[in-house]
Amino acid sequence: MAEFLDFLNNLTNPDWIVAHGGLYLLLFIVFAETGILIGFFLPGDPILFIAGIIIANLTLGPVDSVLTLLYWIALISIAGILGNFVGYWCGKYFGHRLLKMKDNWLFKKEYIFRAQEFYHKRGGVAIILARFLPVVRTFAPIVAGIVEMDFRKFAFYNIVGGILWVGSLVTLGYLLGENDWVQRNLEYVIMGIVVAATAPVLIKMITGKKKKVMPVNEQVLEEEF
């Protein structure tokens, strides 16, 4: 467990990431968080911000630096988009089995029900908005598969959301990456990103009224997206 916690802690260290796979490690983390059920704990938002910082600190000319930024954004976006596609197909073919699983420390059906409720309120745009919400972005494509959301519609929102999510956070990290204050206070900056990303979820959990959520197979299958 200590090694696992060390691994998570190191994911906020740009130098450690560069020394342990660099772009390839980032691609795996983004894919795992968006496409693998147990990847919901991975720090997707900080990872994207750090990717921009890494690019900003490479010894490249202005043109090469921008081209590298676009290249990384493209590859990481593809990883996130493919991850959501995997989540969609897992939800479509194994979703009902997931709903029969008993809750444990790693998996709770409540995560799926929350993503389900999010869909009902936001419709197809939920695929885009979910990208910016930790935990929800892992389960959103799974729920889309469970309710058999139209694949072409899912694909459109998945691609748009993936590009917006990756592009915005990586570019932000790139623009701030050479700032002395950001470099000296990177831990606090990352902490701020995490708080900003999780605040909507926490506020909803604290202030939201408790209400019964019907099982997916009884409520959502009748909905049209």
Which pLDDT does position 1 carry in this prediction?
Answer: 61
What is the residue type of 18? V
CB pairs under 8 A, 24+ apart, for 21-30?
22/54, 23/51, 23/72, 23/75, 26/51, 26/72, 26/76, 26/79, 27/75, 27/76, 27/79, 28/79, 30/76, 30/79, 30/80, 30/83, 30/166
Considering only CA atoms, which of 205, 124, 200, 184 is closest in space to residue 160?
124
Cα 188 to chain center, whole Å?
Answer: 20
What is the residue type of 35? G
Question: pTM score, two decimals?
Answer: 0.77
> Counting every residue, how long is the chain?
225
Sequence spans of domains, the chain: 2-222
What does each of the 225 residues of the chain score in pLDDT, given as a tens digit? 667 677 777 777 788 888 888 899 999 999 998 888 777 778 788 889 999 999 988 878 888 999 999 999 999 999 999 999 999 998 888 877 767 777 766 666 776 777 667 666 766 788 888 888 888 888 888 888 887 788 898 999 999 999 999 999 999 999 887 788 887 787 778 777 767 766 665 565 556 544 444 444 444 444 444
